[in-house]
């Protein structure tokens, strides 16, 4: 059920509203209209919208005689006053249109004229992307042939999994290849090029969410901790090599400064990224608009002519 809140003038001092990105946010928690141009607003899922003010910023700086405000939301329900939409959901996305009616009065004749102005607010639900990390490291090896390479790879994966298991994170898609590398000193060495992904959705990951509706906030916090632990692990490997060995290094060891870390974003079903349509929220996973859908963790909303709702997860 939609929760609508109508605000009277005494609530202009309202603070703490969960507002998000908007190009016309001129006062914390308040968004003004712009005549002739829809104002795009992005509200995080399950948060409150900003206060939508049914006038432009210029008009707000002037006195307004006998004003009335009429709103029509996506469900075509009529409302009056200033507006806050609480506990925003995907289905609440859409155009919110308000009409401001007021009078101009000539002081000398008391002649009155009615003025009407219309403002459109285009509101989209969004959520933070889910983070994962693609990592790559290198280890020297005595030869590209032999069981010890497989053994090192298996042990390394087990160590990293144990390191982050309490965070409901795990290692996925691990792989390695062995290459012969010629150094600038023309010395030929063998190295294992190891790649893996750090993922925040290990078995039982939903238990970490408890009653939180913004579970990505928790999983993203956990994956950041997992990234830091793994980086620290390889830093320690370099430290051990530097301080515990003189000129003779073990045949298989971590190659210092070889760790590479790249963040990879994904969106939940029904959401996607589109910097062209949503430049004010370019890093957000924005709800798929009617005519598009997203069935998985891709970051793109796909076209679907038969979809007429926001946040579609399938194409009928």
Q: What is the 3-state secondary structure (H, E, C) of 237-269?
A: HHHHHHHHCCCCCCCCCECCCCCEEEEEEECCC
The length of the chain in residues reads 316
Burial of 312 (0-12, 13-18, 19+ CB in 10 A): buried
pLDDT in tens, 5-15: 322 222 222 22
According to the model, what pLDDT value does residue 247 have?
A: 63
Q: Residue 258 and residue 260: Cα distance in Å, rounded?
A: 6
Biggest alpha carbon distance in the chain? Answer: 101
Q: Residue 14 and residue 197: Cα distance in Å, rounded?
A: 44
Mean pLDDT of 63-68: 91
pLDDT in tens, 226-280: 999 999 999 999 888 777 666 667 888 999 999 999 999 999 999 999 999 999 9
According to the model, what pLDDT value does residue 243 have?
A: 73
Least confident range of 38-52, 71-85, 257-271: 71-85
pLDDT in tens, 196-236: 999 999 998 888 787 667 788 899 999 999 999 999 999 99
3-class SS of residue 135: strand
According to the model, what pLDDT value does residue 3 have?
A: 30
Contacts of 194 (CB under 8 A, 6+ apart): 136, 137, 138, 139, 153, 156, 174, 175, 176
Residue (of 80, 99, 5, 85) closest to 41 by Cα position: 85
β-strand 260-266 against 170-182: which pairing, if any?
Answer: unpaired
According to the model, what pLDDT value does residue 36 have?
A: 87
Percentage of the chain lying above the pLDDT 90 cut: 65
Band of pLDDT at residue 195, cut at 50, 70 and 90: very high
Instruction: Please give the model's pTM, rounded to 2 decimal places.
Output: 0.78
The overall average pLDDT reported for the chain is 86
According to the model, what pLDDT value does residue 54 have?
A: 92
Instruction: Count other C-beta atoms under 10 Å from residue 166's C-beta.
Output: 12
Q: Residue 77 and residue 89: Cα distance in Å, rounded?
A: 17
Tell me if 180 sits within 8 A of 190, measured CB to CB.
yes
Angle at 254 between CA 149 and CA 174, to 5 degrees: 55
Least confident range of 17-31, 107-121, 289-303: 17-31
User: Higher-confidence residue: 23 or 113?
Assistant: 113
Least confident range of 61-75, 130-144, 253-267: 61-75
Tell me if 191 sits within 8 A of 102, measured CB to CB.
no
Tell me if 283 sits within 8 A of 44, measured CB to CB.
no
According to the model, what pLDDT value does residue 245 have?
A: 61
Band of pLDDT at residue 156, cut at 50, 70 and 90: very high
According to the model, what pLDDT value does residue 11 have?
A: 23
pLDDT in tens, 14-37: 222 333 444 444 566 889 999 889
Mean pLDDT of 288-311: 93
Task: Please give the backbone phi and psi of residue 109, each rounded to the nearest 5 degrees, phi first.
Answer: -120, -10
User: Higher-confidence residue: 26 or 65?
Assistant: 65
């Amino acid at each position: 059920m939609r929760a609508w809140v109508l605000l009277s003038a005494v609530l202009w001092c309202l603070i703490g509203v969960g507002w998000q990105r908007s190009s016309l946010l001129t006062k914390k928690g308040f968004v003004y209209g712009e005549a002739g141009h829809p104002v795009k607003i992005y509200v995080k899922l399950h948060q409150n919208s900003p206060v939508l003010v049914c006038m432009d910023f210029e008009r707000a700086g002037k006195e307004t005689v006998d004003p009335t405000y009429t709103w029509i939301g996506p469900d075509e329900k009529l409302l009056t006053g200033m507006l806050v939409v609480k506990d925003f959901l995907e289905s609440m996305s859409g155009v919110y249109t308000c009409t401001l009616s007021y009078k101009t009065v000539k002081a000398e004749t008391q002649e009155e004229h009615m003025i009407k102005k219309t403002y459109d607010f285009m509101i989209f639900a969004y959520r933070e992307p889910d983070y994962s990390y693609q990592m790559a490291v290198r280890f020297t090896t005595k030869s590209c042939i032999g069981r010890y390479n497989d053994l090192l790879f298996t042990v390394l994966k087990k160590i990293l999994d144990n390191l982050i298991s309490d965070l409901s994170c795990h290692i996925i898609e691990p792989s390695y290849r062995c290459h012969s590398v010629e150094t600038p000193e023309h010395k030929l060495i063998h190295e294992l090029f190891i790649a893996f992904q750090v993922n925040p959705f290990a078995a039982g990951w939903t238990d970490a969410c408890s009653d939180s509706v913004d579970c990505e906030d928790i999983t993203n916090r956990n994956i950041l901790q997992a990234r830091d632990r793994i980086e620290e692990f390889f830093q320690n490997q370099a430290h051990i090599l530097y301080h515990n060995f003189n000129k003779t290094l073990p045949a298989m060891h971590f190659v210092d400064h070889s760790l590479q870390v790249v963040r990879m974003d994904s969106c939940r079903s029904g959401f996607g990224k589109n910097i062209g349509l949503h430049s004010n929220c370019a890093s957000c996973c924005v709800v798929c608009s009617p005519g598009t859908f997203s069935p998985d963790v891709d970051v793109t909303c796909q076209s679907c002519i038969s979809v007429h709702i926001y946040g579609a997860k399938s194409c009928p």
